[in-house]
Amino acid sequence: MRQRMSNVYITGMGSINALGLNCQEFSDSLKNGVNGIKRSSYFSKLSADVKVAAEIGEFKLSEYIKSKPIDKRLLEAVRPFRGSRTTMAIDTLIASVMQAYDMAKISCEDMELHSDRTSIVVAGSNLSQNRNDEIRNRYCNSKEYVTPNYAIQFFDTNYVGILSEIFKIKGEGMTVGNASASGNAALINAYRMVKSGVCDRCVVAAPIVDFSPYELQSFKNLGALGGDDYENNPEQACRPFDAAHNGFILGQGCGCIILESDRILGNNRSKALAQVLSGSIKLDGNRLSDARLDGEYSAMKNAVEYAGLKAEDIDYINAHGTSTPLGDDVELSAIKELFGADNNNLRVNSPKGMIGHCMFSAGLIEAIACVLQMNGNFVHGNANLSKPVAEDVRLVGNKAENYTIKYALNNSFGFGGINTSVVIKNVNI
């Protein structure tokens, strides 16, 4: 029997990043202009060329949950993943999903009841590069002793399996890899699944990046990685849309968004944080790293049209804004082409100046930032914006503004000519 198309709501969110260990801390830091970019202590050990980064610091799931009022059944499900055998990427992702379930008020009974109608999408590809490199180095002269578990762990689907086991998810499951647009692409795929009736609830999860020294060096050799001149002033290193921008700054961050249909919410829509109206993915027909105006324009235009809106209805854009000269300039040009020069009702910002570029998880974390600003009635400042590269786009200044967002557009672009945009609606106005 064919399911009717459903409205799709965001009911739960969780995030751990350089600005906070939960959504409340993240929101407060965004509003107060806290900058999470410091001298690197983690990435610099992998590559001396990484001088500054937005890092989480040490995190252990076992320590994190000690003070949390967690159902004993969930604690028991998490137990196998609390030891030294797991990675920081797994620890932080489990914690962020737990946060999202708590925010969505989904109990263990509810998990079991709706397990067959709950799906999961994990954002990213090649998610364990550094772990894989460590295994190769450890066993290069004794391959016969490689741990059998590695046969499971090197697949990206390891994340799908772990989360489905803990949270009793028995619907569809997949990973979605779209380079640094993976977070948005995962959200779009989950939105389509819920809207079309494939599932009634979908968990969208994006882990922290786990690059090895080789990936880090390749970004440096490509000329995309910034921060060389800011080792003594790391908070000034990432400058989206500023004339002094000179490359992206790496960030560590993970996120989770729970989407639910009106079929499962019924009369309980008061718990909805926001509504996802549409999503669009468009290609440039280009395998390289350079941004293209027509692809970015098309992704935004289609997302707005799919939502049943006009360009002038959008009053806020979370820009991809990485602090790379070409990327920033092309995105602003695409925004101007779609929204026109007379865009005073629009606000544009990018959180990467504070949280760095979180790569696979960037789009999902920034969708969370959209909802936090939407429900907090503010837009955060653009860190280090002192000389804007464009005067005819309404970029938010250095400090946060009180502002009411009705319709937000979340942009996320990736190497390989991948352009994604998502429209999110405020359900409180």
CATH of the domain at 390: 3.40.47.10
Closest CA to 206 of 360, 92, 84, 60: 360
- On whether both 110 and 219 belong to a single domain, the answer is yes
- On whether both 242 and 307 belong to a single domain, the answer is no
- On whether both 180 and 316 belong to a single domain, the answer is no
CA distance 12 to 253: 17
- On whether both 34 and 177 belong to a single domain, the answer is yes
Tokens of 138: 């450890």
Answer whether residue 111 is part of any domain: yes
- On whether both 208 and 345 belong to a single domain, the answer is no
pLDDT of residue 4: 73
For 363, other C-beta atoms within 10 Å of its C-beta total: 33
Under the banding of pLDDT at 50, 70 and 90, the label for residue 255 is very high
Tokens 């900058």 label which residue?
Answer: 35
Classify 377 as helix, strand or coil.
Answer: coil
pLDDT digits (tens, 9 = 90+) for 307-347: 999 999 999 999 999 999 999 999 999 999 999 977 788 99
- On whether both 188 and 254 belong to a single domain, the answer is yes
| Total number of domains constituting the chain | 2
State which residues form the domain around 382: 278-425
Classify 244 as helix, strand or coil.
Answer: coil
375: number of CA atoms within 13 Å, CB side?
A: 19
- On whether both 302 and 324 belong to a single domain, the answer is yes
Asked if the model's pLDDT at residue 248 lies above 90, the reply is: yes
Tokens of 307: 């939502």
CA distance 297 to 23: 30
Encode 160-184: b = buried (16+ Cβ within 10 Å), e = exposed.
bbbbbebbbbebbbebbbbbbbbbb
Question: 42-51, 61-70, 306-315, 322-331 — which is least confidently predicted?
Answer: 61-70
Which of 234, 258, 274 marks a domain boundary?
Answer: 274
Where do runs of H (alpha helix) occur along 197-324? Answer: 213-222, 262-265, 293-306
Under the banding of pLDDT at 50, 70 and 90, the label for residue 81 is confident
Give percent of the chain above pLDDT 70.
99
Answer whether residue 2 is part of any domain: no
pLDDT of residue 1: 43
Answer whether residue 49 is part of any domain: yes
Which of 247, 274, 301 marks a domain boundary?
Answer: 274
pLDDT of residue 289: 82
348 sits in which H/E element:
strand 347-349
CA distance 334 to 5: 31
Partners of 279 in the beta sheet? 422
Closest CA to 255 of 376, 128, 380, 100: 100
Instruction: Report yes or no: 271 and 255 within 8 Å, Cβ to Cβ.
Output: no
pLDDT digits (tens, 9 = 90+) for 294-303: 999 999 999 9
- On whether both 326 and 241 belong to a single domain, the answer is no
- On whether both 169 and 39 belong to a single domain, the answer is yes
Asked if the model's pLDDT at residue 2 lies above 60, the reply is: no
The predicted model gives 376-399 an average pLDDT of 96
Asked if the model's pLDDT at residue 250 lies above 70, the reply is: yes
Tokens of 107: 């109990």
Max CA pair span of the chain: 66
Under the banding of pLDDT at 50, 70 and 90, the label for residue 69 is confident
- On whether both 228 and 214 belong to a single domain, the answer is yes
The predicted model gives 195-210 an average pLDDT of 98
What does residue 247 show for φ and ψ, rounded to 5 degrees? 140, 155
Which of 232, 247, 274 marks a domain boundary?
Answer: 274
Q: What angle do CA 90, 94, 95 make, to 5 degrees?
A: 120
Answer whether residue 373 is part of any domain: yes
Answer whether residue 70 is part of any domain: yes
- On whether both 241 and 165 belong to a single domain, the answer is yes
CA distance 37 to 124: 23
Answer whether residue 323 is part of any domain: yes
Classify 40 as helix, strand or coil.
Answer: coil
Q: In the chain, helix, strand, coil percent, each to 5?
A: 40, 20, 40
Closest CA to 300 of 390, 392, 410, 416: 410
CA distance 373 to 368: 9
Beta strands in 198-288 (DSSP E): 201-206, 253-261, 274-283
Instruction: Report yes or no: 394 and 343 within 8 Å, Cβ to Cβ.
Output: yes
pLDDT of residue 59: 94
Tokens 């993240």 label which residue?
Answer: 26
Closest CA to 97 of 15, 182, 23, 178: 15
Q: What angle do CA 135, 137, 143 make, to 5 degrees?
A: 70
Answer whether residue 1 is part of any domain: no
Asked if the model's pLDDT at residue 83 lies above 80, the reply is: no
Question: 75-89, 168-182, 247-261, 378-392 — which is least confidently predicted?
Answer: 75-89
- On whether both 58 and 155 belong to a single domain, the answer is yes
pLDDT digits (tens, 9 = 90+) for 134-172: 999 999 999 999 989 889 899 999 999 999 999 999 999
